[in-house]
Structure 1
């Protein structure tokens, strides 16, 4: 991936490279990845160990110190266009948590005649509560005790909920240990989740658009893989006029594309016309002529469509397969025939 062009080389030093960025707003960071094309149009990577402004008064001029020795950067010279394919600032941004869907909850903690109760109400109005029996013990420090209660009651952890507000409505400051608050909070959360599940209503199934939307094409080849009546009826309903049967129907007896791949044999063998583009003495001499793929006695033709950068493996169905697929007469019986004995 060549990345995005950011500028060009202005000077090459013994262990550094000076760059001028095309935009003054471009900032280079330690760990960024740069690259450029050498004279043979091969992509060469430059990993930045340290990046710093070249001078205080020149905006957009940077001096970078690569991790690798300068001798490894072939054809790097003044005027070479530089791309950036790794921006550490962007990478760090992606590593952060982007968005977490949480449901806001109001929590109210209060005392009962024989213990305590925690009530939870979410943004959608669902409620869940939990009670426990526990003796009422006066707290020694009322202010510190209330802060501790709010802290423990507001810990919703990895659940779907987050606290909007935690209110403490005790008749007087009672001491409640964390070993009691934690299971009370978990029980209240389970009750709220159960209430939400019970109130959930599945959305109604969407109705198909009438009249049906037309398919982008009105003719389908065997590549559409239409193999049964339901598939054919679907495309016909959406305006397709000519529908060819799937290849498995054995109706394509001539040579057709059996496989279309992005993997290109010509590119792997350095015989791609795009690779020769711009190379003196080679450009125009390499053409995407067909090749033959031989596997035992079987031969397949490789054709190359360079505009979408695709390779077609072309062949035709074997005669033995066609013979097996010939129609055979069916015999109908008025009653089930007797099974033949097994020998």
Structure 2
């Protein structure tokens, strides 16, 4: 049936058809051609739109060809031949990968070591000596009294020793039972 007011509903139809919702589609251009100014309820327009997008999705899925690429194993040399626990080698697949690439010594991941107790937990550029204004490189003019090392971080029952590598500007965090030499600051 034709519209009762005689006004065109073309813009209203375009607005409804342009709503793509949560679909992967966008309606960039919508052309409507009627022989006369026909009335269509919005519910029917929305139903048509949903049907069209559903059908388009089904067509795309039916014609989709998944491309699969075979991974070709290589044996390019890895830059390191010895890996410590920080490389996090925690399964056979990772171990075989590194061995295939020439690594000869592979330490287990930290969490796989039965009783590490004396391991380095982390190396960081963050430095507590710097925060305390005791950095022998960047704050040598204001250092004053040196801190007594090793410094220890404590949280509840957990304790970690700190080791400072000032030349590369790194701080290492070690488990409390770790033994290491404390390097003297020779930067003055």
Identify the TM-score tier after normalising by the shorter chain: 0.5 to 0.7
Q: 1 or 2, which has the higher helix percentage?
A: 2
Question: Could you tell me how far apart the structure 1 residues matched to 2:53 and 2:63 are?
Answer: 15
Shift of 1:312: 1.2
Pairing 1:314–2:174 present: yes
Matches within 5 A, 1:157-168: 157-168=21-32
Pairing 1:201–2:73 present: no
Pairing 1:302–2:177 present: no
Q: Which residue of 2 aligns with 1:141?
A: 6
Q: Which residue of 1 aligns with 2:74?
A: 211
- Which SS does the other structure have where 2:28 is aligned? strand
Shift of 1:302: 1.4
Structure 2 residue aligned with 1:172, among 23, 36, 55? 36
Q: Which residue of 1 aligns with 2:185?
A: none
- Which SS does the other structure have where 2:2 is aligned? coil
Taking structure 1 as the reference length, the TM-score comes to 0.41
Q: Is the 8 A contact 1:154 1:166 kept in 2?
A: yes
Q: Which residue of 1 aligns with 2:106?
A: 243
Q: Is the 8 A contact 1:257 1:315 kept in 2?
A: yes
Q: Which residue of 2 aligns with 1:226?
A: 89
What whole-Å deviation, never above 9, does each CA across 1:272-298 have from its counterpart, x for those lacking one? 335516xxx427x68798423276999
CA RMSD in angstroms comes to: 3.8
Shift of 1:162: 1.4
Question: Could you tell me how far apart the structure 1 residues matched to 2:157 and 2:47 are?
Answer: 73
Pairing 1:268–2:127 present: no
Taking structure 2 as the reference length, the TM-score comes to 0.67
Residues 289 and 201 from structure 1, CA distance in 2 versus in 1: closer, same or farther, beyond 3 angstroms?
farther
- Which SS does the other structure have where 2:27 is aligned? strand
Question: Could you tell me how far apart the structure 1 residues matched to 2:14 and 2:22 are?
Answer: 18
Q: 1 or 2, which has the higher strand percentage?
A: 1
What whole-Å deviation, never above 9, does each CA across 1:144-179 have from its counterpart, x for those lacking one? 333333333223245321123322243433122323
What whole-Å deviation, never above 9, does each CA across 1:96-131 have from its counterpart, x for those lacking one? xxxxxxxxxxxxxxxxxxxxxxxxxxxxxxxxxxxx
Shift of 1:209: 3.1
Q: Which residue of 2 aligns with 1:41?
A: none
Q: Number of aligned pairs?
A: 175
Question: Could you tell me how far apart the structure 2 residues matched to 1:230 and 1:188 are?
Answer: 47
Q: Is the 8 A contact 1:292 1:299 kept in 2?
A: no
Shift of 1:315: 4.1
What whole-Å deviation, never above 9, does each CA across 1:183-216 have from its counterpart, x for those lacking one? 3212322332233334333331x32235333322
Structure 1: 5+ residue stretches without partners:
1-136, 319-343
Task: Give the number of the structure whose alpha-carbon radius of gyration is greater.
Answer: 1
Q: Which residue of 2 aligns with 1:152?
A: 16
Shift of 1:237: 0.7
Question: Could you tell me how far apart the structure 2 residues matched to 1:176 and 1:192 are?
Answer: 22
